[in-house]
Structure 1
């Protein structure tokens, strides 16, 4: 094997590695987006199911009109959190992309901890909501 073939093979291996790093970055970005969609959907389901239960209660009692409860605010909070996760994911994706191109990649503990904190907040809010919601009779 001559020197030129060896250089071409090294360059191809480097390009392949570069492509793999970008593809991994995209997979990570997409998993953040899936998490955001799940948070958004969960908030939507909580709010709409709560509205349905309030409507059934109204139909059964005929005493007062259904009002917006805590679930509506929880749904809005989840929507906001979902948007923040998308912003964080996009920022992290672009930062990682730039670092890969420059060959200076550094993992970000901050971004990972922000995502974990967001999911922990969602969990705490759901638990509080479930503990404060009366059981159906």
Structure 2
């Protein structure tokens, strides 16, 4: 029985592990985008909860001071859901691009998705710091 070398196998079979690593990376990006969307949903719903509690407490005789709401949490929540959606789309585009580069043996690393995520997290972090500082005063 002849011994098949690596070069006699089709490209997709030869690069099976690399394709599986690409798929795991894609799924990690999808999990990250789902987590960002879920966090955005929680932030937006928390604003609704605070509004409802202020309405209920306003009608009762309980004297509890709630911080004034500026409506920023709804904007932040919507932004985070949108960011998660865009990230999932960019992750799919990157997955397909890397898949074709693996098949053609022309892989070139790209960090655009990493940069977008880092800048977005930085912007959200700065926004939350400013928001929290304003709510203390």
The TM-score, its normalising length taken from structure 1, stands at: 0.79
Q: Report the count of equivalent residues.
A: 127
Q: Match of 2:30?
A: 33
The CA deviation string for residues 116-136 of structure 1, in whole angstroms up to 9 with x for no partner, is 22222232233333333359x
1:74 equivalent in alignment to 2:76: yes
TM-aligned CA distance change 1:48 to 1:40, over 3 Å: same
Name the Cα RMSD after superposition: 2.5
Bigger relative CO (Cα 8 Å, ≥ 6 apart):
2
The 1-side partners of 2:31 and 2:134 are apart by: 29
In structure 2, runs of 5+ residues without a counterpart are: 60-68
In the TM superposition, what are the counterparts of 1:34-113 in structure 2 within 5 Å?
Answer: 34-62=31-59, 69-113=71-115
Structure 1 or 2: more helix by fraction? 1
The TM-score, its normalising length taken from structure 2, stands at: 0.79
CA contact (8 A) 2:40 2:77 kept: yes
